[in-house]
Amino acid sequence: MGNRARFFVRRLIPAVCCLWLASCAIAARPLKRARMATAIPSPTITPLSAPFRSTGFLPSTPVGTSAPDSTPRCPDDGGIIKPESLSDTVDGQTLGYFIYLPPCYQSDAQTRYPVLFLFHGLGRTPEQWLDLGLVNAADRLILSGQIPSLLIVLPYITGEDSNDAVMLADLLPAIDRGYRTQTDRNHRAVGGISRGAEWALRLALRRADQFGAVGLHSLSPSQNATVDIFQWAEAVPANMWPRIYFDAGYSDPQLPQMMQILQLFDILKRPYEKHIPPGDHSDGYWSAHVEDYLLWYSKGWE
């Protein structure tokens, strides 16, 4: 890191320290649930034997079987959302997660799919994304041909921080083993809301060989994030720099803090895409932009 860059980063630290206690997931008015028929996966969850449909979330046909009339339930049906868990991970804990399987996944045994990993905000659960309308938005865009079919994985982070080792050594390999994925970095993306955006950015910068795109939705950095993010970003080779999408409402009280992170990318002359539409730091804002997120993640996927 050059002397000028270090000086700039040190100048940013006091401001970051003053702002870091701001909440990373300020809830707006409660949203109508999009779909849940089961509780969020917990450290003791037993995976269901049958998934649930996203449209109404009525019991669907278990993976590997056909409908009673042997007619494929595709393409008119929506995708399904399944609760799953991984026991005995590298940190000795159990990781719960949801996975979205797109329309036609069960009736097409050949196609391989890109994968999107999405983190919830600090103190929330994967249900945050489901309540924002993620599943129904994915169904609409896929069935209308606006985006290709994809898998979406929603990990459940129970503490103050995500564990990169669990994500990389346990979750990512489990998804590639258990589902028909495209395993190259250009077909794997990660994103998050608020503090979850920092977790996503850290993964994408520290393992740029694994993720080709990262979405930062109302990024709410932690206390030491400024220096860390600069160092991680500086270490990424230019030809491995991921696509980066940043968005936040212009009424978001944490917007100045977020802009300091973008200034780090400016110092390094690393590209990113920025959107600051009307809105605040709330579920109402993120819900209004879920389709925008999916359209961006899917660029370049086939």
Is residue 38 a part of any domain in this protein?
no
Q: Are 169 and 196 in contact (CB under 8 A)?
A: no
Q: What percent of the chain has pLDDT over 70?
A: 75
Per-residue confidence band for 76, with pLDDT thresholds at 50, 70 and 90: low
Inform me whether the pLDDT recorded for 52 exceeds 90: no
Q: What is the pLDDT of residue 35?
A: 35
Give the number of domains in the chain: 1
For residues 121-130, average pLDDT? 96
Cα 39 to chain centroid, rounded: 20
Inform me whether the pLDDT recorded for 34 exceeds 60: no
Nearest to 195 by CA among 236, 173, 223: 223
- Residue 119 to residue 126: CA distance in whole angstroms: 7
Q: What is the pLDDT of residue 6?
A: 52
The answer for residues whose C-beta is within 8 angstroms of residue 245's C-beta and 6 or more apart is 191, 213, 214, 215, 216, 272, 273, 275, 293, 296, 297
Inform me whether the pLDDT recorded for 46 exceeds 50: no
The mean-pLDDT minimum among 44-48, 147-151, 209-213, 278-282 falls in 44-48
CATH number assigned to the domain comprising residue 272: 3.40.50.1820
For residue 153, the enclosing domain spans 3-20+47-56+74-297
Tell me: the pLDDT tens digits for 198-241? 999 999 999 999 999 999 999 999 888 889 999 999 999 999 99
- Residue 226 to residue 12: CA distance in whole angstroms: 7
Is residue 133 a part of any domain in this protein?
yes
Task: Please tell me the pTM assigned to this model.
Answer: 0.78
Is residue 28 a part of any domain in this protein?
no
Neighbours of 258 (CB within 10 A): 23
